[in-house]
Structure 1
Amino acid sequence: MFRAAFSRLSVRALPAVAAVLLRQKENEAKERRGRRPRSWRKETHPYYNLSVKVLRARNIHGADLLSKADCYVQLRLPTASPIASRTKVIYNSSDPEWNETFHYRIHGAVKNILELTLYDRDVVVDDHLSSVVFDVGNIKPEETIRRAFKLNTKNKEVLEVEFFLKKSPEPPTQIITNGVVVAHPCLCIEGRIHQGQKQHGEKGDRLLKLSVPGSYEKQICTPFEKSAPCNEGIPFLFHVDKDMSPQLDVYLQQTLRIGQDDLAPELDKQVLIVGEGSLPVSSLHEGQEEEINLPLSKDQKLGMNLKTEELSQELDVRLGFDLSKGEKTFLEKRKVVASQCLGKALQLSRIPKTEEVPVIAVLGSGGGTRAMTSFYGSLLGLQDLNILHSVTYISGVSGSTWCMSTLYEDPDWSQKDLRDPISKARNFVTASKAGAFSPERLRHCTQELMAMEKDGYNVNFTDLWGLVIEYFLHQKDNPAKLSDQQQCVARAQNPYPIYAGVNVRVNISGGEFAEWCEFTPHEVGFRKYGAFVRAEDFGSEFFMGHLVKKRKEPKISFLQGVWGSAFAANLDEIWARAAGTGIRWLNSLTDVIKVIDDCRKLHFRDFRLQTRLVMPGGIVSSIFQEFFKSRFTAAELYNFTRGLYLYKNYVGVREFVAWKGNHLDAFPNQLTPMEENLYLVDGGFSINSPFPLVLQPERDVDVILSFNYSWDAPFQVLDLTKQYCRERGIPFPDTTISEEDEKLPKECYVFMDKDDSACPIVLHFPMVNNTFRKFKAPGIVRETEEEISNGDFSLTEKDSPFRTKNFTYEPNNFDQLIEVNRYNVLNNKDQILGALTAALANRKHKATRRYSKK
Structure 2
Amino acid sequence: MSASKPQASGKVRIQPSLNKSEEEFVARRRNSVLQSLKKLQIQCSKDEVPNIALLGSGGGQRAMVGLLGSLVQLQKTSSLLDCVLYLSGVSGSTWCLASLYQEPDWSTKLESVKDKIIQRLGGPAVSWGDALAKLKKYYNGKDFFSLTDVWAVMVITAYVKEIDEHTLKEQWDQRSKDPFPIYTVIDKQCKQRKSGDPWFEITPHEAGYSLTGAFVDASSFGSQFQKGSKKNKQDEFDMLYLQALCGSALADEDEIKKLLWQKIKDFFQQKEKILEEMRKEQDKRRQEELRRERGTGSGKDFVVGLKLGPPEALLHRISERSQPDPNSAATDECYQLLMNTVDMNLSVSTALDESIRTTLNDLSGGILKTADKKAEELNEKCHTMDAYNNLREQINVWPFDAWMNIIKCMDLWIWGRNYNFLHKMTGEAVHSTLLESKTRDFEDAGLLLNSPYFSVLRKERNIDLIISLDFSDGDPFMTVKDAAKMCRERNIPFPEVIIPSEDSEKPKDFYVFKGQNVPTVIHIPLFNVVNCGDKIEDWSNKYRTFQLPLSAEMITDLMEVAEQNITNNKAKVVEEIRAIIEQKRSRH
Same fold (TM over 0.5): yes
Displacement of 1:678? 1.3
SS in 2 for 1:747: coil
What is the identity, as a one-letter code, of the residue corresponding to 1:544? K
Q: Provide the TM-score with structure 1 as the length reference.
A: 0.48
d(CA) in 2 for partners of 1:568 and 1:448? 27
Q: Is the 8 A contact 2:423 2:436 kept in 1?
A: yes
1:555 matched to which residue of 2?
238
2:25 matched to which residue of 1?
330
Q: Is the 8 A contact 1:542 1:642 kept in 2?
A: yes
1:762 matched to which residue of 2?
521
Displacement of 1:643? 1.1
Match of 1:491 among 166, 169, 175: 175
Structure 1 pair 333–442 and aligned structure 2 pair: CA distance change class (3 A): closer
Structure 1 pair 700–679 and aligned structure 2 pair: CA distance change class (3 A): same
Structure with the greater relative contact order (CA < 8 A, sep ≥ 6): 1 or 2?
A: 2
Structure 1 pair 492–444 and aligned structure 2 pair: CA distance change class (3 A): closer
Alignment of 1:732-743 (within 5 A): 732-743=494-505
1:581 matched to which residue of 2?
none
Q: Does 1:839 align with 2:580?
A: yes
SS in 2 for 1:674: coil
Taking only aligned residues, the RMSD between alpha carbons, in angstroms, comes to: 3.0
Q: Is the 8 A contact 1:687 1:721 kept in 2?
A: yes
Q: Does 1:502 align with 2:186?
A: yes
1:480 matched to which residue of 2?
166
Structure 2: where are the runs of 5+ without partners?
Answer: 1-8, 258-374, 383-409
1:444 matched to which residue of 2?
133
Structure 1 pair 799–520 and aligned structure 2 pair: CA distance change class (3 A): closer
d(CA) in 2 for partners of 1:461 and 1:840? 47
Q: Is the 8 A contact 1:337 1:492 kept in 2?
A: no
What is the identity, as a one-letter code, of the residue corresponding to 1:502? I
SS in 1 for 2:541: coil
1:520 matched to which residue of 2?
203
Alignment of 1:94-173 (within 5 A): none
d(CA) in 2 for partners of 1:343 and 1:419? 23
1:374 matched to which residue of 2?
66
1:430 matched to which residue of 2?
122
d(CA) in 2 for partners of 1:473 and 1:808? 5
Alignment of 1:339-418 (within 5 A): 339-345=34-40, 347-348=41-42, 350=43, 352-385=44-77, 386-416=79-109, 418=110
Give the stretch that moved more between structures: 546-555 or 794-803.
794-803
SS in 2 for 1:821: helix
1:130 matched to which residue of 2?
none
Displacement of 1:571? 5.6
Q: Is the 8 A contact 1:369 1:807 kept in 2?
A: no
Displacement of 1:630? 9.2
Q: How many residues align?
A: 433
Structure 1 pair 325–568 and aligned structure 2 pair: CA distance change class (3 A): farther
Q: Is the 8 A contact 2:419 2:440 kept in 1?
A: yes
* Over 4 Å off, 4+ runs: 508-514, 567-574
Q: Does 1:826 align with 2:585?
A: no
SS in 2 for 1:529: coil
From the CA coordinates, give the structure whose radius of gyration is larger: 1
What is the identity, as a one-letter code, of the residue corresponding to 2:229? H
Q: Is the 8 A contact 1:425 1:473 kept in 2?
A: no
Q: Is the 8 A contact 2:159 2:549 kept in 1?
A: no
Structure 1 pair 798–824 and aligned structure 2 pair: CA distance change class (3 A): closer
Map Cα deviations across residues 38-93 of structure 1 (whole Å, 9 max, x no partner): xxxxxxxxxxxxxxxxxxxxxxxxxxxxxxxxxxxxxxxxxxxxxxxxxxxxxxxx
SS in 1 for 2:468: strand
Bigger share in helix = 2
Match of 2:506 among 744, 751, 755: 744
Q: Does 1:565 align with 2:248?
A: yes
What is the identity, as a one-letter code, of the residue corresponding to 1:463? D
Bigger share in strand = 1
What is the identity, as a one-letter code, of the residue corresponding to 1:842? Q
Displacement of 1:527? 2.7
1:273 matched to which residue of 2?
none
Map Cα deviations across residues 603-656 of structure 1 (whole Å, 9 max, x no partner): xxxxxxxxxxxxxxxxx9xx99x99x9971421011111111351x87xxxxxx
Structure 1 pair 798–480 and aligned structure 2 pair: CA distance change class (3 A): same
Displacement of 1:723? 1.1
d(CA) in 2 for partners of 1:524 and 1:702? 23
Displacement of 1:315? 7.1
Displacement of 1:725? 0.5
Match of 1:677 among 439, 460, 475: 439
Q: Provide the TM-score with structure 2 as the length reference.
A: 0.68
Displacement of 1:810? 2.3
Structure 1 pair 510–773 and aligned structure 2 pair: CA distance change class (3 A): farther
Q: Is the 8 A contact 2:487 2:494 kept in 1?
A: yes
2:152 matched to which residue of 1?
466
